[in-house]
Protein backbone atom coordinates (compact mmCIF):
# COMPACT_ATOMS: atom_id res chain seq x y z
CA UNK A 1 0.00 0.00 0.00
CA UNK A 2 0.98 3.64 -0.60
CA UNK A 3 -0.20 6.30 1.84
CA UNK A 4 -0.24 10.08 1.96
CA UNK A 5 -0.30 11.88 5.28
CA UNK A 6 -1.34 15.50 5.70
CA UNK A 7 -3.93 18.03 4.65
CA UNK A 8 -7.48 17.52 3.41
CA UNK A 9 -9.54 20.63 2.73
CA UNK A 10 -11.99 22.41 0.48
CA UNK A 11 -10.64 24.71 -2.23
CA UNK A 12 -12.91 27.47 -3.44
CA UNK A 13 -11.68 27.69 -7.01
CA UNK A 14 -12.28 30.63 -9.32
CA UNK A 15 -15.01 30.48 -11.94
CA UNK A 16 -17.54 32.81 -13.60
CA UNK A 17 -21.27 33.01 -13.02
CA UNK A 18 -23.82 33.24 -15.83
CA UNK A 19 -23.41 37.02 -15.84
CA UNK A 20 -19.66 36.73 -16.33
CA UNK A 21 -18.77 37.92 -12.84
CA UNK A 22 -16.07 36.32 -10.71
CA UNK A 23 -17.36 33.49 -8.53
CA UNK A 24 -15.95 30.54 -6.62
CA UNK A 25 -16.80 26.83 -6.69
CA UNK A 26 -16.07 24.40 -3.82
CA UNK A 27 -13.77 21.52 -4.75
CA UNK A 28 -12.13 18.88 -2.60
CA UNK A 29 -8.42 19.53 -2.22
CA UNK A 30 -5.42 19.54 0.07
CA UNK A 31 -2.03 18.63 -1.34
CA UNK A 32 -1.59 15.33 0.48
CA UNK A 33 -5.16 14.21 -0.14
CA UNK A 34 -4.69 15.10 -3.81
CA UNK A 35 -1.61 12.86 -3.92
CA UNK A 36 -3.57 10.00 -2.37
CA UNK A 37 -6.42 10.48 -4.85
CA UNK A 38 -3.99 10.64 -7.76
CA UNK A 39 -2.26 7.39 -6.77
CA UNK A 40 -5.54 5.58 -6.18
CA UNK A 41 -7.09 6.69 -9.48
CA UNK A 42 -4.08 5.36 -11.35
CA UNK A 43 -4.55 1.98 -9.72
CA UNK A 44 -2.29 1.78 -6.66
CA UNK A 45 -3.73 0.55 -3.35
CA UNK A 46 -3.76 3.81 -1.43
CA UNK A 47 -4.68 5.13 2.00
CA UNK A 48 -4.93 8.60 3.52
CA UNK A 49 -3.73 9.55 7.00
CA UNK A 50 -4.89 12.84 8.53
CA UNK A 51 -7.81 14.67 10.03
CA UNK A 52 -11.16 14.84 8.23
CA UNK A 53 -14.12 16.68 9.71
CA UNK A 54 -17.60 15.23 10.13
CA UNK A 55 -19.12 18.55 9.01
CA UNK A 56 -20.68 19.19 5.59
CA UNK A 57 -17.34 19.84 3.90
CA UNK A 58 -15.72 16.90 5.66
CA UNK A 59 -18.41 14.63 4.26
CA UNK A 60 -17.66 16.02 0.80
CA UNK A 61 -13.99 15.17 1.32
CA UNK A 62 -14.71 11.64 2.56
CA UNK A 63 -17.17 10.92 -0.26
CA UNK A 64 -14.74 12.23 -2.88
CA UNK A 65 -11.84 10.20 -1.50
CA UNK A 66 -13.90 7.04 -1.26
CA UNK A 67 -15.21 7.49 -4.81
CA UNK A 68 -11.57 7.69 -5.95
CA UNK A 69 -10.84 4.39 -4.12
CA UNK A 70 -8.74 5.94 -1.32
CA UNK A 71 -8.97 3.93 1.90
CA UNK A 72 -9.91 6.13 4.87
CA UNK A 73 -9.65 3.62 7.70
CA UNK A 74 -6.38 5.28 8.80
CA UNK A 75 -7.88 8.80 8.78
CA UNK A 76 -9.17 10.50 11.94
CA UNK A 77 -12.72 11.85 11.84
CA UNK A 78 -13.65 14.66 14.28
CA UNK A 79 -16.21 17.43 14.72
CA UNK A 80 -13.58 20.14 14.22
CA UNK A 81 -14.28 22.30 11.18
CA UNK A 82 -12.84 21.67 7.74
CA UNK A 83 -9.95 23.81 6.50
CA UNK A 84 -11.06 26.18 3.72
CA UNK A 85 -8.81 27.66 1.03
CA UNK A 86 -9.82 30.39 -1.41
CA UNK A 87 -7.88 30.41 -4.67
CA UNK A 88 -7.08 33.13 -7.19
CA UNK A 89 -5.03 32.64 -10.33
CA UNK A 90 -2.46 35.41 -10.80
CA UNK A 91 -0.21 35.25 -13.88
CA UNK A 92 -0.77 31.53 -14.18
CA UNK A 93 0.09 30.75 -10.54
CA UNK A 94 -2.41 29.74 -7.86
CA UNK A 95 -2.52 32.03 -4.80
CA UNK A 96 -4.30 30.91 -1.63
CA UNK A 97 -6.06 32.42 1.39
CA UNK A 98 -6.45 29.80 4.15
CA UNK A 99 -8.92 29.53 7.00
CA UNK A 100 -7.28 26.91 9.18
CA UNK A 101 -7.74 27.67 12.89
CA UNK A 102 -8.80 24.74 15.12
CA UNK A 103 -9.65 22.56 12.14
CA UNK A 104 -9.75 18.77 11.77
CA UNK A 105 -6.43 18.83 9.93
CA UNK A 106 -4.82 20.98 12.61
CA UNK A 107 -6.06 18.72 15.40
CA UNK A 108 -4.89 15.44 13.88
CA UNK A 109 -2.56 13.41 16.08
CA UNK A 110 -0.51 10.35 15.18
CA UNK A 111 -1.19 7.26 17.28
CA UNK A 112 1.93 5.14 17.66
CA UNK A 113 1.31 1.63 16.37
CA UNK A 114 -1.88 2.59 14.52
CA UNK A 115 -0.43 2.00 11.03
CA UNK A 116 0.95 -1.40 9.89
CA UNK A 117 4.03 0.03 8.19
CA UNK A 118 5.29 -3.41 7.25
CA UNK A 119 2.51 -3.41 4.63
CA UNK A 120 3.19 0.19 3.50
CA UNK A 121 5.69 0.59 0.66
CA UNK A 122 5.81 4.40 0.65
CA UNK A 123 4.61 7.31 2.76
CA UNK A 124 4.17 10.79 1.29
CA UNK A 125 4.24 13.89 3.53
CA UNK A 126 4.37 17.66 3.11
CA UNK A 127 2.39 20.87 2.54
CA UNK A 128 0.41 22.92 5.06
CA UNK A 129 0.43 20.27 7.79
CA UNK A 130 4.12 20.98 8.31
CA UNK A 131 3.68 24.74 8.80
CA UNK A 132 2.32 24.52 12.34
CA UNK A 133 4.29 23.05 15.24
CA UNK A 134 1.80 20.31 16.12
CA UNK A 135 1.36 19.06 12.57
CA UNK A 136 5.11 18.97 12.06
CA UNK A 137 5.69 17.12 15.34
CA UNK A 138 3.00 14.53 14.63
CA UNK A 139 4.31 13.94 11.11
CA UNK A 140 7.85 13.59 12.42
CA UNK A 141 6.66 10.90 14.85
CA UNK A 142 4.94 9.05 12.01
CA UNK A 143 8.10 9.16 9.88
CA UNK A 144 10.17 7.83 12.78
CA UNK A 145 7.97 4.72 12.86
CA UNK A 146 7.62 4.41 9.08
CA UNK A 147 11.20 4.84 7.93
CA UNK A 148 12.43 1.38 8.92
CA UNK A 149 10.23 -0.29 6.30
CA UNK A 150 8.70 2.43 4.08
CA UNK A 151 10.13 4.82 1.50
CA UNK A 152 9.57 8.46 2.53
CA UNK A 153 8.38 10.95 -0.10
CA UNK A 154 8.43 14.68 0.68
CA UNK A 155 7.08 17.77 -1.08
CA UNK A 156 7.26 20.99 0.97
CA UNK A 157 4.55 22.58 -1.23
CA UNK A 158 5.15 25.90 0.50
CA UNK A 159 2.36 28.32 1.38
CA UNK A 160 4.22 31.54 2.32
CA UNK A 161 1.07 33.31 3.56
CA UNK A 162 0.80 30.72 6.35
CA UNK A 163 4.44 31.04 7.43
CA UNK A 164 4.98 33.42 10.35
CA UNK A 165 8.68 32.69 11.01
CA UNK A 166 10.53 31.93 7.78
CA UNK A 167 13.92 30.94 9.31
CA UNK A 168 12.20 28.41 11.58
CA UNK A 169 10.12 27.10 8.68
CA UNK A 170 13.19 26.79 6.44
CA UNK A 171 15.04 24.85 9.15
CA UNK A 172 12.02 22.58 9.49
CA UNK A 173 11.89 21.87 5.75
CA UNK A 174 15.62 21.07 5.75
CA UNK A 175 15.06 18.72 8.69
CA UNK A 176 12.26 16.87 6.90
CA UNK A 177 14.40 16.57 3.79
CA UNK A 178 17.00 14.63 5.80
CA UNK A 179 14.43 11.87 6.39
CA UNK A 180 13.24 11.72 2.78
CA UNK A 181 14.18 9.23 0.09
CA UNK A 182 12.37 11.19 -2.63
CA UNK A 183 12.06 14.97 -2.62
CA UNK A 184 9.97 16.88 -5.16
CA UNK A 185 9.42 20.62 -5.18
CA UNK A 186 8.32 23.23 -7.68
CA UNK A 187 10.65 25.93 -8.94
CA UNK A 188 8.52 28.45 -7.02
CA UNK A 189 8.97 26.51 -3.78
CA UNK A 190 12.69 26.16 -4.44
CA UNK A 191 13.07 29.92 -4.88
CA UNK A 192 11.15 30.56 -1.65
CA UNK A 193 13.32 28.13 0.31
CA UNK A 194 16.73 28.48 -1.31
CA UNK A 195 16.70 31.73 -3.28
CA UNK A 196 19.04 31.78 -6.27
CA UNK A 197 21.07 28.73 -5.26
CA UNK A 198 21.63 26.57 -8.37
CA UNK A 199 19.33 23.56 -8.54
CA UNK A 200 22.21 21.14 -9.06
CA UNK A 201 24.08 22.45 -6.04
CA UNK A 202 21.13 21.88 -3.71
CA UNK A 203 20.41 18.52 -5.35
CA UNK A 204 24.01 17.42 -4.68
CA UNK A 205 23.61 18.42 -1.04
CA UNK A 206 20.39 16.43 -0.73
CA UNK A 207 21.81 13.36 -2.47
CA UNK A 208 24.86 13.59 -0.23
CA UNK A 209 22.69 13.36 2.88
CA UNK A 210 21.11 10.11 1.70
CA UNK A 211 18.16 11.16 -0.46
CA UNK A 212 17.84 8.91 -3.52
CA UNK A 213 15.89 11.17 -5.90
CA UNK A 214 15.46 14.95 -6.15
CA UNK A 215 12.97 16.43 -8.63
CA UNK A 216 12.26 20.08 -9.51
CA UNK A 217 9.11 20.78 -11.51
CA UNK A 218 9.19 23.94 -13.65
CA UNK A 219 5.70 24.36 -15.07
CA UNK A 220 5.80 24.74 -18.85
CA UNK A 221 9.54 24.05 -18.78
CA UNK A 222 9.08 20.47 -17.64
CA UNK A 223 10.92 18.74 -14.82
CA UNK A 224 14.52 17.98 -14.00
CA UNK A 225 15.72 15.24 -11.65
CA UNK A 226 18.93 14.10 -10.04
CA UNK A 227 19.72 10.57 -8.90
CA UNK A 228 22.96 9.32 -7.41
CA UNK A 229 23.33 6.50 -9.97
CA UNK A 230 21.00 7.42 -12.85
CA UNK A 231 22.40 10.94 -13.00
CA UNK A 232 20.57 14.06 -14.19
CA UNK A 233 17.44 13.60 -16.28
CA UNK A 234 15.18 16.23 -17.83
CA UNK A 235 11.72 15.74 -19.30
CA UNK A 236 9.46 18.13 -21.17
CA UNK A 237 5.99 19.26 -20.18
CA UNK A 238 3.19 18.33 -22.58
CA UNK A 239 1.57 21.16 -24.52
CA UNK A 240 -1.98 21.56 -23.23
CA UNK A 241 -4.69 24.18 -23.01
CA UNK A 242 -4.54 25.21 -19.36
CA UNK A 243 -7.75 25.70 -17.36
CA UNK A 244 -5.77 26.23 -14.14
CA UNK A 245 -2.73 24.74 -12.41
CA UNK A 246 -4.44 23.73 -9.15
CA UNK A 247 -3.28 20.26 -8.14
CA UNK A 248 -0.80 19.89 -11.01
CA UNK A 249 2.17 19.41 -8.70
CA UNK A 250 0.22 16.93 -6.59
CA UNK A 251 -0.76 15.01 -9.72
CA UNK A 252 2.90 14.91 -10.78
CA UNK A 253 3.87 13.59 -7.34
CA UNK A 254 1.13 10.96 -7.33
CA UNK A 255 1.99 9.78 -10.84
CA UNK A 256 5.70 9.62 -10.08
CA UNK A 257 5.11 7.48 -6.99
CA UNK A 258 2.67 5.30 -8.92
CA UNK A 259 5.15 4.82 -11.77
CA UNK A 260 7.92 3.84 -9.35
CA UNK A 261 5.50 1.44 -7.65
CA UNK A 262 4.44 -0.03 -11.00
CA UNK A 263 8.08 -0.54 -12.01
CA UNK A 264 8.93 -2.26 -8.73
CA UNK A 265 11.23 0.66 -7.83
CA UNK A 266 9.38 2.21 -4.89
CA UNK A 267 11.17 0.34 -2.07
CA UNK A 268 14.27 2.17 -0.80
CA UNK A 269 16.92 -0.31 -2.07
CA UNK A 270 15.16 -0.60 -5.45
CA UNK A 271 14.83 3.19 -5.78
CA UNK A 272 18.54 3.55 -5.08
CA UNK A 273 19.30 1.18 -7.98
CA UNK A 274 16.88 2.61 -10.57
CA UNK A 275 18.36 3.02 -14.05
CA UNK A 276 18.10 6.12 -16.22
CA UNK A 277 15.56 4.72 -18.71
CA UNK A 278 13.19 3.66 -15.94
CA UNK A 279 13.45 7.02 -14.22
CA UNK A 280 12.88 8.90 -17.47
CA UNK A 281 9.71 6.90 -18.16
CA UNK A 282 8.43 7.57 -14.65
CA UNK A 283 9.12 11.30 -14.92
CA UNK A 284 7.54 11.58 -18.37
CA UNK A 285 4.45 9.75 -17.14
CA UNK A 286 4.24 12.14 -14.17
CA UNK A 287 4.57 15.18 -16.45
CA UNK A 288 1.77 13.90 -18.70
CA UNK A 289 -0.53 13.31 -15.73
CA UNK A 290 0.17 16.83 -14.43
CA UNK A 291 -0.53 18.25 -17.88
CA UNK A 292 -3.90 16.53 -18.07
CA UNK A 293 -4.79 17.87 -14.62
CA UNK A 294 -4.12 21.41 -15.88
CA UNK A 295 -6.78 21.04 -18.58
CA UNK A 296 -9.66 21.04 -16.08
CA UNK A 297 -10.50 23.26 -13.13
CA UNK A 298 -9.69 22.30 -9.56
CA UNK A 299 -7.53 19.44 -8.34
CA UNK A 300 -8.82 16.65 -10.56
CA UNK A 301 -6.01 14.13 -11.25
CA UNK A 302 -6.46 11.60 -14.04
CA UNK A 303 -7.85 8.09 -13.86
CA UNK A 304 -5.87 5.20 -15.35
CA UNK A 305 -8.10 5.03 -18.44
CA UNK A 306 -7.44 8.71 -19.26
CA UNK A 307 -3.67 8.64 -19.52
CA UNK A 308 -1.61 6.85 -22.14
CA UNK A 309 1.11 4.83 -20.48
CA UNK A 310 3.12 1.81 -21.54
CA UNK A 311 5.36 -0.25 -19.31
Q: DSSP of 146-200, one letter per residue? A: HTTTSEEEEE----GGG-S-HHHHHHHHHHHHHT-SEEEEEHHHHHHHHTT--HH
Integer angstrom CA distances of residue 96 from 87, 155, 164, 222, 227 = 5, 17, 15, 23, 32
Phi and psi (nearest 5°) for 278? -65, -45
User: Sorting pLDDT into bands at 50, 70 and 90, what band is 92?
Assistant: low
Q: What is the mean pLDDT of residues 280-290?
A: 96
Cα 43 from Cα 305, distance rounded (Å) = 10
Query: Is the predicted pLDDT of residue 180 greater than 70, yes or no?
Result: yes
As a dihedral over the C-alpha atoms of residue 37, residue 224, residue 93, residue 174, rounded to 10 degrees, the angle is: 80
The secondary element (H helix, E strand) that includes residue 27 is strand 22-29
Residue 200 burial (CB count, 10 A): 13
CATH number of 2-7+30-78+108-295: 3.40.1190.20
pLDDT, residue 282, reads 97
- Shortest CA distance to 83 belongs to which of 11, 138, 27? 11
Domain locations in the chain as residue ranges = 2-7+30-78+108-295
- Rg of the chain taking only CA atoms, in angstroms: 18
**Across the beta sheet with 93-99, what order do the strands follow?**
22-29, 9-16, 83-90, 93-99
**SS3 label, residue 113:** coil
205-254 tens-digit pLDDT: 999 999 999 999 999 999 999 999 999 999 999 999 888 788 899 999 99
The whole-angstrom separation of Cα 31 and Cα 128 is 8
Cα pseudo-dihedral 222, 225, 230, 231, rounded to 10: 100
Query: Using 50, 70 and 90 to split pLDDT, how confident is the model at 97?
Result: confident
What tens digit of pLDDT does each residue of 111-132 get?
999 999 999 999 999 999 999 9
Nearest to 139 by CA among 124, 151, 158: 124
User: Which of helix, strand or coil describes residue 286?
Assistant: helix
pLDDT at residue 90 greater than cutoff 80: no
Residues 60-90, buried b or exposed e (16+ Cβ, 10 A)?
bbbebbeebbbbbebbbebebbbbbbebebe
The answer to whether 70 and 8 are in contact (CB under 8 A) is no
Cβ contacts of 19 within 8 Å, gap of 6 or more: none
In this predicted model, what pLDDT tens digit does every residue of 13-58 receive, in sequence order?
888 787 878 888 899 999 999 999 999 999 999 999 999 999 999 9
Q: How far apart are CA 276 and CA 226, in angstroms?
A: 10
The number of angstroms, rounded, from the C-alpha of 68 to the middle of its chain's C-alpha atoms is: 16
Mean pLDDT estimate for the chain: 93
Amino acid sequence: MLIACGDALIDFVPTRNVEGREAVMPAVGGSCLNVAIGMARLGAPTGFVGGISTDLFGRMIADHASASKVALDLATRSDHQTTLAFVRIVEGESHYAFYDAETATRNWTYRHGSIPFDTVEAVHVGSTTLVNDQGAAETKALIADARASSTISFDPNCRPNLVKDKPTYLARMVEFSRSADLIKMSDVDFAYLFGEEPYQQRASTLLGQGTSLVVITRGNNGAIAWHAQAGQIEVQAPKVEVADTIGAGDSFQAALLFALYKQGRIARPRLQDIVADELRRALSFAANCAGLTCTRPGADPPWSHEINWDW
